[in-house]
Amino acid sequence: MRLPPDKMHRVIINTDAKNEADDQYAIVQALLTPSFDLHGIIPAHFGSIKSQTSLKDSADEVHKILGLMDLTGQVRVADGAAGPIPDETTPAPSAGAEMIVREAMKDDPRPLHVAFLGPLTDMASAILMEPRIVKRNVRVVWIGGGHWPVGGREYNLSNDITGANVVFRSGIEVWQIPMTVYRMMAVGYAELYERVYDKGAIGRYLVEQLIDWNTRMVAGPIEHRSLGDSPAIGVMMYPECGKWEYRPGPEWNQLMNYVPNGNNRPVRVYETVDVRFIQEDFFAKLARFSRGIREFARFDG
């Protein structure tokens, strides 16, 4: 299946890939999605609590996934910032932020979707480096933010609250998938063994690293995991694969509570997603890939 350019979504994936064990599934699904014109992957930091080298950890994980899929050198990878922006007027420059600016400023009638599976640092930096991009045809798809309307601690937001405020104040288009939604994406170990584990080197790795992470990091009995970053892939493929509504664009205080601000652009906030559509799409694409069917995304590398 080779789709014409006007039937493909322009996409950049920004991922804190080694933070937990679910980014890996979203990355693989994006790589295998033929309707994506994938301009690149940006490894992102995930703070300093879990690791003092979180950006490098994410970059190493992205390259490991590409290697397991025999895609080394076929996908552009540009590192993001090593940490959050220092303040609301100062970017944290990086090759990843430069990639976002470059693709946003291209003359292309198709929207550019920039999916953030972690903090919004590199989007905030891109906006501060080149403010004109907020007037371009760009959509920020973000896995992050706590329960509406109160908020509270949420991991992706916690790693750059200032960056999130810059993005939401900027006027750029944002699709938010908050914690209440991304936690809906649970799968059990039995399903992963039946649907993923036997699908080549990448399938084995996806399952083994997930179970290893749970074993080391989760207290008490467990045999499930939420593939919480995968909704970003789903809504880019099919924007109506969940219930959503526009809400006033928020900001956050340091407790990560939503702070109403009537000056910000309204945000598309997803309230549900079609878990069956997203997960079955991933399982089917991985199965076809393992059989040697190569119909994955077109790479602009």
What is the structure's pLDDT at 300?
74
Structure tokens at 259: 């702070």
Q: Cα–chain-centroid distance for residue 133?
A: 19
User: How many whole angstroms separate alpha carbon 15 and alpha carbon 62?
Assistant: 9
Q: What is the CATH number of domain 9-290?
A: 3.90.245.10
DSSP 257: B
Q: List phi, psi (to 5°) of 222.
A: -160, 140
Q: In the chain, what are the domain boundaries?
A: 9-290
State whether residue 204 is helix, strand or coil.
helix
User: How many whole angstroms separate alpha carbon 17 and alpha carbon 287?
Assistant: 22
What is the structure's pLDDT at 287?
98
What is the structure's pLDDT at 301?
53
Per-residue pLDDT 10s for the chain (301 aa) are 678 889 999 999 999 999 999 999 999 999 999 999 999 999 999 999 999 999 999 999 999 999 999 999 999 999 999 999 999 999 999 999 999 999 999 999 999 999 999 999 999 999 999 999 999 999 999 999 999 999 999 999 999 999 999 999 999 999 999 999 999 999 999 999 999 999 999 999 999 999 999 999 999 999 999 999 999 999 999 999 999 999 999 999 999 999 988 899 999 999 999 999 999 999 999 999 999 998 899 887 5
What percent of the chain is helix, strand and coil (3-state, nearest 5)?
40, 20, 45
What is the structure's pLDDT at 262?
87
Q: Which residue has the tokens 């979504």?
A: 9
What is the structure's pLDDT at 2?
77
